[in-house]
Structure 1
């Protein structure tokens, strides 16, 4: 992710804070020393020292004689602003979501968010370490809008359970198209309520009889179908906003070009499909999502069966 003018020490703070919140670094675990941070992030000693001091001030780490700096055993809750001070963390996150919803993820920056909150950009860093942490918090918040059912529902029917998770994820992306761009399978954001979907599907598929490594591949496959379809949502919304033309009108406008391209006869099957009429295929993303989900579940049923 791009961090723009974000201070280098804030990037270090953000990564360590996320690792602590996700449980990758547990209470009592040693955190990287100043020199280790210097080597890992290619920063000066003053920058690495400032990062550790910031985490100490937040109560997330503490010095341990003979060991070094460790994750605090009783970390303090991050202090948010008083009613007369800058916006508290929940307002920062909700404003970030609103901006991403209305203006798109590309328009969201720490400077733009600070302006929307009516505060100096540097004051914003008192609440979030940078854009990376902001996006994790935003993702966690939007996935929390539609929580998963109880574990009892998951245990009854693996197919219904997995379909429930997929449709809830689709609903998140429908309401917040930018979230599909934030999600990644190579470097997934450590957002607890998004991670809950992975746990939900893994457990359902393991109970159905799949070995955990296979269940994990299946979970990634399903989530990738949802996200892969959803990445078109923000692009389509932006295109419609820029041109004033929806996808149906766009397809209609392409008919003459399509006819010229296919005139040579090299695409006979596509011509045959076009001859069936515009209503023969439903290109709506909801329909495409449901079609793909059903076929994937059919394939998993054969694998499990």
Structure 2
């Protein structure tokens, strides 16, 4: 009997793992690319990837993609004279099922062993003590605490951050961290200031207001890309007075000072550019939170809404939207935040150029 299309994709991935063409930690193409390569519907490719993740063959990592899971280490053989316990049946060669037994400690980044579906994998030190000897509290510094906290927030989001988790990651007593940081709220501000100061604006400065504004916007976007949680910390209506955040404002003000705009207009332009970058960056963290809550990637979530979209198109009430969907065809629309950032930045710069050109 011929295999269903999604089963053919599953068999191909398993075969590639078995013969070494795909190794643990290798990243797979997106489901959209798989659908295009195999000539199947997006839902078919999504189903294949979902089943492979559920079996532990693959694992989805927030903000990164889908990767080949690392096989769990084989248990040690029975000692002479003992009767081995019965082992659960394993699937065909090339597939690896994550076991519910405690996994060895994993590094903060890199390849992770897939955990059971009911218990998402977490980096070490978050919610549980890290293995290994405890570090001397005398080696603890505020900078180490900030760096560890940033690594946790980068990996899991700001909601996963706690003083206990930071202490566990650093292998120190929780109370030791309070000698350097007053609490989580203060720690988040210190993290934000450190993150905003990672790149900076080295000399030489580019010439012209447009080049300066563009460099500021791109530097901010790169910073938010590195740390998706950062966009949640600095609300537009309640700006944080952070030295390293002010450095980005200083860059924009340097660009606009010779423009002839008054102080209010210059601030309006600076807020407009910042809000464009921050507004898109907020989607990075929100997508991660939505994935953790629903267990679905953005593509899987959209696939579940396909019948609703089809009903809207068929209703005839929205001819413009229906025509747009028809024009997109089977490939659909791929929401790319980087592409939207470039489009918005170019539009803002072009519009500001027109405004400045009209001034005396």
Judge same fold: TM > 0.5, yes or no: yes
Q: Does the Cα contact within 8 Å between 1:95 and 1:116 map onto a contact in 2?
A: yes
Stretch of structure 1 that moved more, 284-293 or 126-135: 126-135
* Whole-Å separation in 1 of the counterparts to 2:282 and 2:249: 19
- 1:175 is displaced (CA, Å) by 1.2
* Whole-Å separation in 1 of the counterparts to 2:337 and 2:201: 23
Relative to structure 1, the CA distance from residue 101 to residue 289 in structure 2 (aligned partners, 3 Å threshold; closer, same or farther) is same
* Whole-Å separation in 1 of the counterparts to 2:137 and 2:287: 41
Taking structure 2 as the reference length, what is the TM-score of the superposition?
0.57
Q: Does the Cα contact within 8 Å between 1:136 and 1:190 map onto a contact in 2?
A: no
Structure 2 equivalent of residue 114 of structure 1: 167
Structure 2 equivalent of residue 126 of structure 1: 179
Matches of residues 88-103 of structure 1 in structure 2 within 5 Å? Answer: 88-103=141-156
Structure 2 equivalent of residue 159 of structure 1: 210
* Whole-Å separation in 2 of the counterparts to 1:247 and 1:129: 37
- 1:122 is displaced (CA, Å) by 2.9
Structure 1 equivalent of residue 272 of structure 2: 221
Q: Which one of 271, 277, 290 corresponds to residue 342 of structure 2?
A: 290
- 1:220 is displaced (CA, Å) by 0.7
Q: Does the Cα contact within 8 Å between 2:137 and 2:176 map onto a contact in 1?
A: no
Query: Structure 1 stretches of 5 or more lacking a match?
Result: 1-81
Matches of residues 11-50 of structure 1 in structure 2 within 5 Å? Answer: none
Q: Per-residue CA shift, 1:176-232, capped at 9, x if unaligned?
A: 100010112332223211110111101211222222221111101110110001100
- 1:118 is displaced (CA, Å) by 2.7
* Whole-Å separation in 2 of the counterparts to 1:239 and 1:145: 28
* Whole-Å separation in 2 of the counterparts to 1:239 and 1:131: 23
Taking structure 1 as the reference length, what is the TM-score of the superposition?
0.66
| Higher fraction of helix | 1
Q: Per-residue CA shift, 1:129-159, capped at 9, x if unaligned?
A: 2222211221122222211233x525x1111
Structure 2 equivalent of residue 302 of structure 1: 354
Structure possessing the higher relative contact order (Cα contacts under 8 Å, 6 or more residues apart):
1
Q: Per-residue CA shift, 1:90-133, capped at 9, x if unaligned?
A: 11000000110111101112232223223333321211122222
Structure 2 equivalent of residue 189 of structure 1: 240
Q: Does the Cα contact within 8 Å between 1:110 and 1:131 map onto a contact in 2?
A: yes
Structure 1 equivalent of residue 229 of structure 2: 178
* Whole-Å separation in 1 of the counterparts to 2:306 and 2:223: 34
Q: Does the Cα contact within 8 Å between 2:137 and 2:172 map onto a contact in 1?
A: no
Correspondence 1:259 to 2:310: yes
- 1:243 is displaced (CA, Å) by 5.4
Structure 1 equivalent of residue 192 of structure 2: 139
- Larger Rg over CA atoms: 2
Query: Structure 2 stretches of 5 or more lacking a match?
Result: 1-134
